[in-house]
Chains A and B, each alone.
Chain A
Amino acid sequence: MADFSEAYSAGQEQSTSSQEKRLLDVLSRMRNNMAGVFAVHLHLSELRPSHRQPHFLRMVGRSLDSLASKQDVQVFNFTNADVALLCRNTPVDDVDDAVFRVRALFNEDPLTLSEDGSAEDRFSTWYDLSQPKDVKDFADAVTDALAHREEVKSQQAESVSTGRASKAMSGEPLVPTMLQAIVQKLLEVRVGDLVHRQPAVVVTAGKSQQLAFREHFIAMDELRERIASEINIFSSHWLFQYLSETIDARMLEVLARLDYTNMDVPLSVNLNVSTIMARPFQQFHALIGENTKNVIVEIQIIDVFADMGAYAFVRDWLQEHGYQVLIDGLNPLTLHFFDPSLLAADYIKITWGPEVRGGVGQEQTRHIRDVVAHMPDGGVVLSRVDSEEGVSWGLDLGIRCFQGHFIDKVVEAMASKGLIK
């Protein structure tokens, strides 16, 4: 089986390197024989980066395989992830079905929001190659794809993340045998200087802004540089989660050195449920004494679902002892599938991201509104807000607490005016 998989991926890589050129060749050779030929260009390069990963694209290839095997259809996989179908005397309905199947795979991607086949359909473009104009347009599109190769490559490096983990990082994938050495390294290196702070701001009724809390976090890319620069520590969810237990312990060491008696606003920190039940946190707890109200514990949603019993237990324990609990790792998409207000946390954090930029469907908007309404006032935090657009989007839905690069700038400006310390 291993042999097969190697052959499979190797074969794919080899052939993708020049598929755009090959398609242009084919087009020029067919120039005089275009009757009954049409092409479909699937703009997969415009999917969200998280959908553009190789395993997704591999599955797209398989969805189209059946079409190619039965009909006179050639499939071209571009370097930028786009796919072109070149069809001769093939029933449009058959091709349509196949395109629809691929489209359905990405139902959650904004790219497929537009009506299938409509003028503003951004997912696919059809070309009738018996028309010279269409031949030219199609050839131009392919040439563009070829030219954009480099650009797309750099785009793919853009970070994609679910919670704290990101798969887009390069390097050798993490395997269990590497863990021991990395954990050891983690225990030895200095982490204090990698701890960053990011403020969250709450917009009050009078439209004035106030600091809500400051998240303390370790910048993962910097940490990776220090402990395992050659390894993609995010390549496996589960192994990264394992590492994060040690990261928690180091983080708590750093946080234990802060002064909790004179804190203007609480700090928040991301922790594993298992950490809270274990010694690193219990020691931290003993140290900060009466000042628990100054600490907000952020818990990842995946950790909550890993063991609901344990979550309920630590939530109760934390809240009884004066801490506040925040659920992290949600996005507008997750809200569609469950209502996090039922988790009885003090805060939930939703990521503002490309999937909601440019608006979400009405139904989805209604859900977010519902969730916000179910949470305590100011209990919903919109994070990764990098523009004013994010703030107005959030405010419109009743969200009043914000975090992100844009907010960093706002806070800086406030500080320079002496509005906050």
Chain B
Amino acid sequence: MAVRPSSSPTHMHRRTQEQLLLEYLRRLENRREGRKAVRINISSLMPANRREHHIRAATNSFETLVSDLMGQLFELKNLDLFFVYKSEAHTRVEDTVQKVKFLFSDDPLFDEKSRSESEFVSWYDVETGYDDLIKMVRDMSEDTDAVKRPATRSNVRAALKARQDHGEPLSPEILGRAVKALVRTDLTSLVRRQFVCGVSKKLVPEPIFSELYISIMDLRETMMPGINLTSNRWLFQYLTESLDKRVLSLLSKTDRFSITGDISFNVNVSTLMSPEFMAFDDGISAARRGSMVLELQKIDIFADLGAFLFVREFCQEKGYRICLDGLTYQNMSMINRERLGVDYVKVMWNPELVDGGQHMRKKLRDLVKDAGRTTVILARCDNREAVDFGRSVGINMFQGHYVEHLIAEDERRRQLLKIKHRIERDTT
């Protein structure tokens, strides 16, 4: 997959992009008025999210700005992009940055670590912050000196591999081996759990069900260290089908893996039509079915809509509930959830929802209202802002790091209360 540019780089004495950036900024010293800069911190993404074609696409998106002589783009060794531009192009740059952000927003691994937007993009005013900028860039170029590696473009690509310390792309062979190995691997220790909760005005969480999932990061570390599992979407998707079956077998071994309360888990439509699922279904009681929520991915709907509708009907008939996972604001407004007949939909929190202002808020409120019997869950809530926003548009169910935090807090409060009662009892 990893392609090298055909133009063979000269291995002569080349200055690094960091050095070139430094020189460029120095030349601007007396012409710094009306200049701005932006840094896109690709390096802040999880290694697996730094997919090469996305990075290339991100670079390409500055192409017209550069050809219109509006600015200069530097591709730093750590894959970050640094764009110095004339302030008259600011709106265009903002648009471009927006697109680039969007490009990286839809990745399965975003679940695992929260990233604030400001971490991904940093804006600079060359005019007022000139000295700081020079200092920062000087530090960067000295860093690369120390590594003593000529950073031509192709070396950035090569560095991409090295830098994604887990960077080997998932190849068909590795996938084949992984699928085989999965059958023998005990995944119990890789299962993670996250609650979907109602959250009251006073921020008291009320668990509704918990999602069980296999941490892809830990799976990689255990089974395929050095492999970038998500480097190819389709191969990854295939891998998830094997994972599904392992999860099903885990769930049917309740003696080794005891779970309380209602649970949900991710599963492919194809898995629900497999003999493995039939066997799983045979092994559990009708009551247990009623306590399970099957989470289906949106991509599965359009891979084969007929199959999707078929299994939805089949599973709901048997008492399972269905949740449509992975919606964003954009595709949520596009899909008619009511007709899809699912019980829940999961919308991914994104700070841009707040930036959208009243208009976005109203649209979302209408969407939530229209959802009818379908209940909307706001997932990936990393901070209070997410929950506050969700509540303001009528969403009552939340999931994410912040919700886990609220649960922990609540637990702590209960403990304290208990101790307090005990003390009171002992002293009276």
Contacts and interface: CB of A to CB of B under 8 A. Distances in A.
A48 B56 CA distance: 43
Nearest to A48: B306
Contacts of A237: 237, 270, 303-304
Contacts of B305: 108, 331, 333-334, 337
Interface in B222-243: 232-235, 237-238, 241
Interface stretch (A173-181, A221-229, A262-270): A173-181
Contact of A305 (B235, B278, B299): B299
Please report whether the interface of chain A is mostly helix, strand, loop or mixed according to DSSP.
Answer: helix
B89 interface: no
Contact of A309 (B64, B102, B176, B276): B102
Nearest to B309: A108
Contact of A1 (B276, B304, B309, B317): B276
B234 A336 contact: no
B53 to A, nearest CB: 4
Contact of B238 (A50, A58, A176, A306): A176
Contacts of B257: none
Contacts of A362: none
A25 B291 CA distance: 44
B131 to A, nearest CB: 36
A338 to B, nearest CB: 5
Interface in A44-68: 48, 50-51, 55-56, 58-59, 62-63
B138 interface: no
Given A5-B275, A274-B233, A308-B328, A108 B306 contact: yes
Contacts of A320: 64
Contacts of B175: 176, 179
A334 B238 contact: no
Given A5-B276, A339-B334, A59 B314 contact: yes
A315 to B, nearest CB: 11
A236 interface: yes
* Size range of the chain A interface in the assembly: 35 or more
A320 B104 CA distance: 21
B249 interface: yes
B104 A309 contact: yes
Contacts of B356: none
Contacts of B303: 162, 237, 302
Contact of A180 (B57, B172, B233): B172
A106 interface: yes
A238 B238 contact: yes
Nearest to A182: B172
B234 A238 contact: yes
B140 interface: no
Contacts of B281: 62
A277 B235 contact: no
A42 interface: no
A308 B233 CA distance: 13
Interface residues of B, number: 62
Q: Taking chain B's interface residues, is the majority helix, strand, or loop, or is none over half, making it mixed? A: helix
B336 interface: yes
Nearest to B102: A309
B335 interface: yes
B279 A1 contact: yes
Contacts of B64: 320
B172 A242 contact: yes
Interface in B161-188: 171-173, 175-176, 179
Contacts of A51: 306, 310
- Which of B274, B298, B309 counts the most A-chain CB atoms under 10 A from its CB? B309
Nearest to B236: A238
B55 to A, nearest CB: 10
Interface string A146-175: 000000000000000010000000000001
Contact of B336 (A107, A307, A337): A337
A273 B191 CA distance: 33
Contact of B235 (A55, A101, A238, A342): A238
Contacts of A177: 172-173, 176
A3 B31 CA distance: 75
A254 interface: no
A317 interface: yes
A302 B275 contact: no
B103 to A, nearest CB: 5
Given A242-B234, A313-B103, A4 B279 contact: yes
Contacts of B57: 277, 310, 313-314, 317
B306 A333 contact: yes
B249 A8 contact: no
Contact of B54 (A277, A302, A306): A277
Contacts of A105: 310, 313-314
B60 interface: yes
B333 interface: yes
Given A176-B173, A239-B238, A329-B302, A309 B103 contact: yes
Contacts of B278: 8, 58-59, 62
Nearest to B178: A176
A320 B99 CA distance: 14
A301 interface: yes
Given A176-B172, A274-B53, A162 B106 contact: no
A59 B328 contact: no
A231 interface: no
A316 B100 CA distance: 12
B317 A101 contact: yes
A179 B302 contact: no
B60 A317 contact: yes
A278 B270 CA distance: 30
Interface-centre pick from B3, B53, B276 (highest chain A CB count, 10 A) = B53
Given A4-B279, A329-B302, A337 B238 contact: no
A180 B310 contact: no
Nearest to A274: B53
A141 interface: no
Interface string B237-278: 110010001000100000000000000000000100111101
Interface string A4-17: 11001100000000
Interface in A255-291: 274, 277-279, 282
B234 A241 contact: yes
Contact of B53 (A59, A179, A277, A336): A277
A68 to B, nearest CB: 15
Interface string B319-349: 0000000001011011110011000000000
B200 interface: no
A4 B171 CA distance: 31
B171 A55 contact: no
A310 B334 contact: no
B176 A308 contact: no
A55 B271 CA distance: 10
B370 to A, nearest CB: 14
A316 B57 CA distance: 12
A67 B245 CA distance: 28
A116 to B, nearest CB: 15
Given A104-B313, A239-B238, A337-B305, 15 more contacts: A50-B306, A56-B310, A59-B278, A106-B310, A176-B176, A238-B238, A278-B3, A305-B298, A306-B299, A308-B330, A309-B104, A310-B57, A312-B330, A313-B99, A317-B57
7 contacts: A58-B273, A183-B172, A302-B303, A307-B106, A313-B103, A316-B99, A329-B302
Nearest 9 A-B pairs (CB), nearest first? Answer: A179-B172, A5-B275, A177-B176, A176-B176, A55-B273, A241-B234, A176-B175, A238-B237, A242-B234
